[in-house]
């Protein structure tokens, strides 16, 4: 009788899972089609807008006005569209069960076109993620979904938007379920994320979107010295991610300190970008795709290019500009990788590609999707190196992120005690808990032993000096 009951339960379980697969395949496909088509429209309009505006020699003089207008539109029509889009979608998933107002979609569309076309240093994946998430949330409203299903559908929107923008369906699907937490994948949305990412990618291709793929032609060299150089690159790129996050937070603090009308901050930010462009060049404006391409082709891009791009991006996104942050991360990573290659006498193209995904892994805490992205963009031969670099960069960055509402699911090290289950921006307690057999504990013991020895020597010296 027990065996019969067990068989019945197994059959029921199989039927439930089968219907769940069918349900989410259909829903995710619908989201993929909607997001793929809407994102394609956005990309086409953005490309034509950039071509039109940049035909003027001094187009960057429009920046104060354009970022002012971008901030003004967002401030009055859809405050939830402020900043870089992916962060706002993450915030909506964690704090509002994925509820995103439909007004965010057109506002984010227009504000991003205005910002990026005139030279604001921002990306295109954030708006696509927010547009995709907003459309998915509206679909969930129409279907009267509960909180759990709404979240999964909005995550489909993130994955579909990311896949459509970069032409990396597998990495896009994984990004949607990895970016929500530090140290955990949201497996509940694994199937729909893959379906929506793949469908949206193919829809965009059918509608004429072409993608940048750059297979690297090099022979893998598994030597001890090269592995050490790759590890060093991971550390360098992790520190680059660390610095970028700190610069973003610094300018965010400055923006919050200025207690006046938000659109006026946009005017100030636009003026600052114009001045910086006159000091440097217009290389650091907009998407920066030419610089990324040059670095991946092994060309020289300037030793401090990645640092300058950090400041351009931080000012744009914290002072009223609208757009994403991943494309600037690609610029920063490729330029940093090129610098590392020059310093170490290595192949510039290879380490630019490694840097591109390495900084993404560290800054966004997404080592898995960054590694897969490298394979989709540059070929499978680079996989062992990018995997190593991405994990090291992810660890070096620590418990910080360009997405402050990411939830820390687990500590990155047993020696670091941190509040889990909270957003990065809400964490107030981090401490070091050295274990008895760690290198850190060994150094602490050496320091303690040295201190005690010096104390005893000093006491002995004092006793010798006492008069008899």
Quote the Cα angle for 77-99-75, to 5°. Answer: 20
Classify 233 in phi/psi space as left (phi over 0), alpha (psi -120 to 50) or beta: alpha
Last residue of a domain, one of 174, 206, 238: 206
- Residues 232 and 192 reside in one and the same domain: no
Which uninterrupted H or E stretch holds 335?
helix 326-344
pTM for the model stands at 0.89
pLDDT at 269: 92
In a domain, 349, yes or no: yes
Q: How many CB atoms lie within 10 A of CB 364?
A: 26
pLDDT at 437: 60
Domain extent, residue 254, equals 224-408
Indicate the SS3 state at residue 286. Answer: coil
- Residues 278 and 186 reside in one and the same domain: no
- Residues 228 and 372 reside in one and the same domain: yes
In a domain, 423, yes or no: no
Q: CA-CA distance, 400 to 384, in Å (whole number)?
A: 25
- Residues 385 and 439 reside in one and the same domain: no
Rg (C-alpha) for the chain, rounded Å, is: 25
For each successive 10 residues of the chain (468 residues), what is the average pLDDT?
68 80 91 91 92 90 93 87 79 84 87 92 86 87 87 89 89 90 86 92 90 70 76 95 95 88 90 94 91 91 93 93 91 96 90 94 94 90 90 92 89 78 78 63 67 71 60
**CB contact at 8 A, 130 and 324:** no
- Residues 202 and 228 reside in one and the same domain: no
Instruction: State the CATH number of the domain containing residue 188.
Output: 1.10.3080.10
- Residues 313 and 380 reside in one and the same domain: yes
Task: Please report how the helices 2-53 and 104-117 are oriented relative to each other, as an axis angle in degrees rounded to 10.
Answer: 40
In a domain, 216, yes or no: no
Q: How many domains does the chain have?
A: 3
Bridge partners (DSSP) listed for residue 182: 408
Last residue of a domain, one of 408, 424, 459: 408
Q: CA-CA distance, 114 to 288, in Å (whole number)?
A: 16
**DSSP states along 342-411:** HHHT--HHHHHHHHHHHHHHHHHT-HHHHHHHHHHHH-GGGHHHHHHHHHHHHHHH-S--SSTT-EE-S-
In a domain, 418, yes or no: no
Q: Which residue has the tokens 């992810």?
A: 394
- Residues 139 and 270 reside in one and the same domain: no
Q: What is the dihedral of CA 52, 57, 60, 64, to 10 degrees?
A: -90
Q: CA-CA distance, 131 to 39, in Å (whole number)?
A: 8
Q: CA-CA distance, 451 to 63, in Å (whole number)?
A: 58
pLDDT at 360: 95
- Residues 21 and 144 reside in one and the same domain: yes
- Residues 65 and 201 reside in one and the same domain: yes
Buried b (16+ CB within 10 A) or exposed e, 80-100: bbbbbbbbbbbbbbbebbbbb
In a domain, 427, yes or no: no
Q: How many CB atoms lie within 10 A of CB 75?
A: 17
In a domain, 421, yes or no: no
Last residue of a domain, one of 142, 171, 206: 206
- Residues 337 and 461 reside in one and the same domain: no
- Residues 189 and 282 reside in one and the same domain: no
C-alpha separations of 218 from 75, 347, 348, 350, 378 in Å: 49, 10, 12, 8, 11
Q: CA-CA distance, 402 to 247, in Å (whole number)?
A: 10
In a domain, 332, yes or no: yes
In a domain, 217, yes or no: no
For the chain, how many helices (H) and strands (E)?
Answer: 17, 4
- Residues 18 and 140 reside in one and the same domain: yes
């Amino acid at each position: 009788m027990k065996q019969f009951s067990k068989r019945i339960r197994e059959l029921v379980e199989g039927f439930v899972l089968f219907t769940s697969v069918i349900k989410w395949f259909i829903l995710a496909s619908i989201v993929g089609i909607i997001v793929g088509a809407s994102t394609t429209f956005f990309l086409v309009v953005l490309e034509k807008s950039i071509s039109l505006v940049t035909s003027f020699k001094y187009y960057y003089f429009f920046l104060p006005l354009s970022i002012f207008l971008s901030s003004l539109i967002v401030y009055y029509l859809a405050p939830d569209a402020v900043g870089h889009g992916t962060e706002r979608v993450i915030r909506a998933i964690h704090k509002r069960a994925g509820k995103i107002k439909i007004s965010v979609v057109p506002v984010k569309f227009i504000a991003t076109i205005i910002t990026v076309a005139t030279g604001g240093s921002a990306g295109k994946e954030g708006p696509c993620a927010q547009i995709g998430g907003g459309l998915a949330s509206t679909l969930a409203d129409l279907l009267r979904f509960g909180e759990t299903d709404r979240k999964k559908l909005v995550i489909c929107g993130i994955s579909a938007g990311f896949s459509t923008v970069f032409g990396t369906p597998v990495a896009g699907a994984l990004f949607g379920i990895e970016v929500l937490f530090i140290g955990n994948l949201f497996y509940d949305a694994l199937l729909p994320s893959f379906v929506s990412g793949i469908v949206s990618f193919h829809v965009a291709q059918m509608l004429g979107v072409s993608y940048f793929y750059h297979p690297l032609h090099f022979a893998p060299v598994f030597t001890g010295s090269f592995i050490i150089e790759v590890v060093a690159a991971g550390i360098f790129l992790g520190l680059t991610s660390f610095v970028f996050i700190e610069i973003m937070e610094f300018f965010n603090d400055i923006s919050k300190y200025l207690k006046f009308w938000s659109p006026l901050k946009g005017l100030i930010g636009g003026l600052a970008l114009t001045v910086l462009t006159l000091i440097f060049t217009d290389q650091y404006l907009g998407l920066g795709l030419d610089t990324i391409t040059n670095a991946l082709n092994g060309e020289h891009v300037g030793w401090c290019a990645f640092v300058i791009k950090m400041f351009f991006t931080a000012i744009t996104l914290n002072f009223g500009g609208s757009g994403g942050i991943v494309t600037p991360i690609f610029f920063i990573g490729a330029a940093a990788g090129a610098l590392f290659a020059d310093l170490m006498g290595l192949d510039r193209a290879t380490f630019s590609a490694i840097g591109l995904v390495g900084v993404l892994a560290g800054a966004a805490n997404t080592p898995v999707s960054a590694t897969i992205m490298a394979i989709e963009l540059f070929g499978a031969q680079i996989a062992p190196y990018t995997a190593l670099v991405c994990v090291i960069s992810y660890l070096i960055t620590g418990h910080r992120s360009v997405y402050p509402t990411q939830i820390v699911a687990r500590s990155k090290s047993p020696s670091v005690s941190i509040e889990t289950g909270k957003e990065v921006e809400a964490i107030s307690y981090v401490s070091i808990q050295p274990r008895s057999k760690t290198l850190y504990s060994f150094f602490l013991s050496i320091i303690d032993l040295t201190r005690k020895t010096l104390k005893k020597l000093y006491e002995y010296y004092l006793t010798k000096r006492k008069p008899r």
